């Protein structure tokens, strides 16, 4: 048994190394004075200082946050409504609809992005901020539906009955009883949606108007021009933001197993 225990420990350590070593290396290098990745590392914050004066990165960051914020609001609102509809009502083709919500998760982004680009041009939406928001909403919607539905699974529908029996209208029941109860799920879903949007590259790349870039797109462009440790620095910041979001989600949502 002790042998098995050690095996599983080593296995766990391997997985963690596999996941985090590249990230840790990048973080370390972002603090390295040398541009050529010379070792030993000489401590420096010059790449972070360089970030401060990089206006392109600033506007890209602002764009990313704008898109993420707006698309998160929309997809959280819509996704929660969808989850509630699935919970409250039985209707024909419900199963089919439930399945049809999820393609954005399973179909490669490249294909969805191409399809959206073609479609948006065809119907006259074109490219731009609005198109990007639409695209991000479509991508994050399934995550919202999944997370909110998971929370709804343990909701006692007798609470809605009780509210109605006390004279509460449909909207009063929804906003005074159901939504407050769902709140942890809704917050987790919103953080999820925000993270999905923030990290999104392909869709943003396809749907952005010329001259309008988001952070991932900007990073990609910068790498193509020539790699600088500045990219390490900005990536490190993005990683910390993502981790923070994830921590936020885990506060409200159980990732498998029990807390």
Partner 1 sequence: MANVSVLNLSKNFGTTTALDRVSFQFEDGKFFALLGPSGSGKTTLLRMIAGFESPDQGSIHIGGKVVDHIPVEKRDIGMVFQNYALFPNMNVQANVGFGLRVRGISGSEMKRLVAEALELVRLSGFDNRQPDQLSGGQRQRVALARAIVTKPRVLLLDEPLSALDRTLRLEMEIELKRIQRDVGITTIFVTHDQEEALTMSDQIGILNEGQLVQHGSPVDIYENPQSVFVARFLGEANLLRGQADGKNVKLEIGGTVKTLSKPAYPQVICSIRPEKISIQKEQEVHRSNGNRVAGRVNEHIFNGTSLTYLVQCGNLVVKVFVQNLSGEVIPPNSSVHLFFRPEDTLVFPDA
- Binding footprint of partner 1 on the chain (CB under 8 A): 156, 158-159, 161-169, 172, 176-177, 180-181
- Asked if 48 contacts 236 with a C-beta cutoff of 8 angstroms, the reply is no
Q: Which is nearer to partner 1, 166 or 223 (CB)?
A: 166
Work out how close the CB of 182 gets to partner 1 at its nearest, in angstroms, rounded to a whole number.
10
Q: For residue 243, give both structure tokens.
A: 């981790």
Q: Which is nearer to partner 1, 155 or 201 (CB)?
A: 155
The four Cα atoms 55, 128, 235, 226 give a dihedral, to 10 degrees, of -70
Distances (CA, A) of 208 to 93, 154, 201, 204: 35, 40, 10, 6
Work out how close the CB of 160 gets to partner 1 at its nearest, in angstroms, rounded to a whole number.
9
Work out how close the CB of 192 gets to partner 1 at its nearest, in angstroms, rounded to a whole number.
22
Q: Which is nearer to partner 1, 128 or 184 (CB)?
A: 184
The per-type count for the chain, helices as H runs and strands as E runs, is 13, 0
Q: Which is nearer to partner 1, 57 or 163 (CB)?
A: 163
Work out how close the CB of 178 gets to partner 1 at its nearest, in angstroms, rounded to a whole number.
10
| Alpha carbons 75 and 104: distance in angstroms, whole number | 13
């Amino acid at each position: 048994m002790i042998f098995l225990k050690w095996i599983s420990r080593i296995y766990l350590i391997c997985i963690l190394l596999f996941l985090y070593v590249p990230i840790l290396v990048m973080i370390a290098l972002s603090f390295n004075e040398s541009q050529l990745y010379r070792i030993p590392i000489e401590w420096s914050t010059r790449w972070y200082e360089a970030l401060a004066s990089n206006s392109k990165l600033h506007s890209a960051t602002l764009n990313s946050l704008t898109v993420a914020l707006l698309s998160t609001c929309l997809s959280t609102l819509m996704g929660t409504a969808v989850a509630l509809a699935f919970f409250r009502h039985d209707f024909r083709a419900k199963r089919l609809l439930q399945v049809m919500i999820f393609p954005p998760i399973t179909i490669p982004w490249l294909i969805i992005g191409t399809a959206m680009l073609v479609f948006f041009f065809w119907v006259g939406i074109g490219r731009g901020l609005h198109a990007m928001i639409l695209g991000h909403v479509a991508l994050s919607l399934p995550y919202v539906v999944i997370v909110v539905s998971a929370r709804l699974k343990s909701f006692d529908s007798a609470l809605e009955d009780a509210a109605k029996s006390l004279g509460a209208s449909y909207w009063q029941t929804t906003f005074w009883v159901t939504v407050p109860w769902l709140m942890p799920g809704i917050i987790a879903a919103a953080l999820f949606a925000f993270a999905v949007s923030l990290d999104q590259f392909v869709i943003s790349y396809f749907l952005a108007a010329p001259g309008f870039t988001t952070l991932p797109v900007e990073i990609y462009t910068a790498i193509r021009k020539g790699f600088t440790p500045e990219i390490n620095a900005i990536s490190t910041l993005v990683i910390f933001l993502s981790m923070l979001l994830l921590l936020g989600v885990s506060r409200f949502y159980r990732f498998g197993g029990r807390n």
